[in-house]
Amino acid sequence: MAEFAYVGRSVPKVDARAKVLGKTKFVSEEGIGFPGMLYGKVLFSPHAHARIVKIDTSKAAAVRGVRAVLTGKDVPETRVGMLIDDRHILCREIVRFVGDPVACVAAESEDAAAEAVRLIEVEYEILPAIFDAEAAMAPDCPVVIHPDLPAYNRPLYAYMGKDLPGPNVHTHHKVRKGDVDRAFAEADFIVENRYECDRITHCQMEPYNSVCYPQTDGTATVWTSARLHETHDPLLQAFGLNPSQLRTRTSYQGGMFGMIGRPERFTLLLAQKTGRPVKMVYTREENFIEGLNRLAEIVYVKDGLKKDGTIVAREIKGIVNTGAYTHHGPLVIRNGAFHASQYRLPNYRWDAYGIYTNTPACGPLRGFGSAEVIWATEQHMDLDARAVGMDPIEFRLLNTPDAGERDVRGTLVTCIGAKRCLKIVSDRIEWGEPSDQPAESHIKVGKGIALANKYSMADTASSVILDMKPDGVLEISHGGDDCGQGLNTVLTQIAAEQFSVPMEMVRIVWGDSWRSPYDFGTASSRSTLYIGNALIKACDDAKRQIRELAAKKLGMDDGDIEVGKGGFWLRDNPEKVFPMSFLSLANHPEARGTVKGATCLEESAGIRGTGVFWGHPGAEDPETGQGERLAISYSYGAQAAEVAVDTETGVVKILRLYSAFDTGKTMHPTMCEAQHEGGMVQGIGSALYEGFIFDEAGVLMNPNLHDYKVCSTGDVPSGDDLWVALVEDPHPEGPYGAKGTGESAMCPTASAVANAIYNAVGVRLTQLPMTPERVLAALKEQRGDSRTDAAT
């Protein structure tokens, strides 16, 4: 393999120095001390389902310093959404969950805004509410959350709005392959079980925040701490603006994990109404309630197996509680089916249903559908292995496809490092050797493994502009996001590699909807693959232009010119590098004194290369879910966990967690390893600690970092016990063979832990998070001799 100077090396992270100095300007720093700044605050519904009878804002408006108090009558009448337009910016008539925004305020100080929100008087007529997805799904459910659903606009994937079994069901996604019923009838074993995961949230450390500056020409600039593209487009839709009327900007984000902009619709609304800049920073509690959290899901899995260990059929029914509004929900539901490409499944039936309930709205979170379903299927694989009497690893290896096969959906498997990854983690955890048991007899130690994949959608595109400055500096403009994962570093590596220049010669400009070229944004583990490819195309384009201009000027052929090292040279004389300024107007033979400083070229403002990379998606058959090219890449990998279960307290401790994932090509080994370590720890959080707790009225009981527990240093293995291997099975379409990897590390963790718990104490936990209470309950049930393991 070719040796690279920058690509594949752990070069310095371009943003790290400013960050350790505390000098990076995050969006939360935007507008501090800006003259005339107003502060926004939202009034959230205290009821899970109610009709707004009357709102009296007079007392609130009278608070000193209050400049606007807005309610549902002040917002556009049209509903907005991503896949289903089902929501107003502020509730107009009905509130549908505790936390649904009812009014918003702008005031001269945060204190005045908070006081005004307290003084808004709302009279509600309480309506019956429903929280349980399976109950809400019933055809005769007495509570109907969106009676107008059949009339709602569905701008994307509208075919998922057919065959809906009940009035609260908004989505039905199907995949069909083969003859599942016949395969079940012919199977030697049938294994069935039910799994569930509670709702979790991103807990990015920078709280959701936004500033909006109205401009004198009627446009507005809105800053978001979330993704550029996924904030900008919904705002255009919600406010009926065209792209030149709204300028959306962002900076380095303080964490992302899939989160989508939230307060921007309020800062924009308030700025429009007041003509003043408005800043909003959500409290942590507001982050929990208003953030579009990971949806809660119930997954029923049924597998049919042959005695030899082959899976002959799999049926999955997913019941997905997306809360009161859909946002990305239907897409998350659909994408849950991508998990299936992990195994060879000759007969497959998938039905996933999205259900409205009177709980907070959900959206995308790292893993986007995959993590939730894999939580179920990777435990189920252990049940299957037991049923056929095979080792869980042998069983997985037997059923894992190879490159060149078609996956369940009909997409060609191009590169798949799954088997290698399984071997790496199983060797390292000494699979087959029993765990050492501590002297305390109430502590039991066990091992578990899980395999996972994470797709990257084919239905997206990226574009990049590369300007080569007269001093040879390369300026990359992209429309993605650097939320700490290191995108700007990776793009700097690629450009430096392409032009053989030091990384200091590369500058990145991003995060501005008026300046940055189009991008789908940082999501779906796609940035390196898509933006990296677009950048390489832009580099090629710039090089071509330079070759043409230089050849013309020197009277040579394009093919005689090589580009790089901050300039170009003649193929047969690589020693003499011409600087870029050689091409500038200032160096034109006819140039006289006054254009001496002219850095433009003779016929253009400068060298500008552009590149676009589009995934060329194949169509999905609405009835069968089949499609030639639905995902552009899959990152495959495995994790192995060793856990200690305290049978007296139910506390589970992760002793070791090993991960191996196939990156295609690791662009930056240390950053990639670090990102995987972060994903594994987020996975541990989702496995053991994180989950929303609601009371019977639908009030979230733990909307803070004290009662909703994010892993701290005390909860995780470290050093060699939190270990990552990166396997390279080059992707044919990836830049340097790379494919996405951002989300994958979180996907197998919970199942690996659950399988290890089973190995330690013989109980199967089927609901996330696996809290001490749930572990103890399972152990108690076991003592009552009624095991929860459906395969036994």
Partner 1 sequence: MRRPIELSVNGVTEEVYVEPWWTLARVLRDELGLTGTKVSCETGDCGACTVNIDGRAVRSCIYPVMKAVGKKIVTIEGLSGEDDSLHPLQQAFLDHFAVQCGYCTPGMVMSANALLQENPHPTEAEIKEGLKGNLCRCTGYNKIIQAVAAAASASAPNKEN
Q: Which is nearer to ligand FES, 228 or 483 (CB)?
A: 483
Minimum CB distance to ligand FES, residue 98 (Å): 24
Q: Does 258 bind ligand FES (CB under 6 A)?
A: no
Q: Pattern of binders to ligand FES over 61-80, x per CB under 6 A?
A: --------------------
Minimum CB distance to partner 1, residue 715 (Å): 9
Contacts of 530 (CB under 8 A, 6+ apart): 460, 461, 462, 519, 520, 613, 615
Q: Does 679 bind ligand FES (CB under 6 A)?
A: no
Q: Does 255 bind ligand FES (CB under 6 A)?
A: yes
H/E element, 665: none
Q: By CB under 6 A, what part of segment 219-238 binds ligand FES?
A: none
Closest by CA position to 133, among listed 292, 300, 291, 322: 322
Instruction: Give the Cβ contact number of residue 597 at 10 Å.
Output: 10
* Rounded Cα–Cα distance for residues 396 and 309 (Å): 9
Minimum CB distance to partner 1, residue 111 (Å): 9
Minimum CB distance to ligand FES, residue 206 (Å): 8
Minimum CB distance to ligand FES, residue 675 (Å): 10
Question: What residues make contact with partner 1 under the rule CB under 8 A?
Answer: 9-13, 15-17, 19-26, 28-29, 32-33, 202-207, 252-257, 281, 283-284, 483-486, 670-671, 674-675, 677-682, 704-706, 710-714, 716, 718-719, 722
Minimum CB distance to partner 1, residue 690 (Å): 11
Q: Pattern of binders to ligand FES over 474-513, x per CB under 6 A?
A: ----------x-----------------------------
Q: Are 303 and 314 in contact (CB under 8 A)?
A: yes
Contacts of 719 (CB under 8 A, 6+ apart): none
Minimum CB distance to partner 1, residue 565 (Å): 20
* Rounded Cα–Cα distance for residues 100 and 623 (Å): 35
Which residue is it, tokens 């295609």? 664
Q: Which is nearer to ligand FES, 219 or 283 (CB)?
A: 283
Residue 591 binding partner per list ligand FES, partner 1, none, with a CB distance cut-off of 5 to 8 Å that depends on partner kind? none
Q: Are 431 and 393 in contact (CB under 8 A)?
A: yes
Residue 750 binding partner per list ligand FES, partner 1, none, with a CB distance cut-off of 5 to 8 Å that depends on partner kind? none
DSSP 510: E
* Rounded Cα–Cα distance for residues 38 and 65 (Å): 9
Minimum CB distance to ligand FES, residue 491 (Å): 20
Residue 498 binding partner per list ligand FES, partner 1, none, with a CB distance cut-off of 5 to 8 Å that depends on partner kind? none
Render 217-262 in DSSP notation, one character per residue: TS-EEEEESS-HHHHHHHHHHHHT--TTTEEEE--S-S--TT----
Contacts of 740 (CB under 8 A, 6+ apart): 454, 456, 524, 525, 526, 527, 528, 529, 633, 635
Q: How far is CA 635 from the centre of its chain?
A: 14
Question: CA quadruple 410, 411, 415, 419: dihedral positive or negative?
Answer: negative
Contacts of 239 (CB under 8 A, 6+ apart): 76, 246, 265, 268, 269, 272
Token duo for residue 777: 């309950």
Minimum CB distance to partner 1, residue 734 (Å): 22
Q: Which is nearer to partner 1, 484 or 625 (CB)?
A: 484
Q: Which is nearer to partner 1, 120 or 722 (CB)?
A: 722
Q: Which is nearer to ligand FES, 484 or 625 (CB)?
A: 484
Residue 15 binding partner per list ligand FES, partner 1, none, with a CB distance cut-off of 5 to 8 Å that depends on partner kind? partner 1
Out of 205, 403, 619, 701, the residue judged to bind ligand FES by CB under 6 A: 205
Minimum CB distance to partner 1, residue 527 (Å): 14
Closest by CA position to 736, among listed 663, 634, 786: 663
Q: Are 129 and 143 in contact (CB under 8 A)?
A: yes
Residue 28 binding partner per list partner 1, ligand FES, none, with a CB distance cut-off of 5 to 8 Å that depends on partner kind? partner 1
Contacts of 786 (CB under 8 A, 6+ apart): none
Q: Which is nearer to partner 1, 193 or 250 (CB)?
A: 250
Q: Which is nearer to partner 1, 24 or 219 (CB)?
A: 24
Render 525-567 in DSSP notation, one character per residue: T-HHHHHHHHHHHHHHHHHHHHHHHHHHHHT--GGGEEEETTE
Residue 500 binding partner per list partner 1, ligand FES, none, with a CB distance cut-off of 5 to 8 Å that depends on partner kind? none
Nearest residue to ligand FES on Cβ basis:
205
Q: Pattern of binders to ligand FES over 687-716, x per CB under 6 A?
A: ------------------------------
Chain residues in the site for ligand FES (CB under 6 A): 205, 255, 484
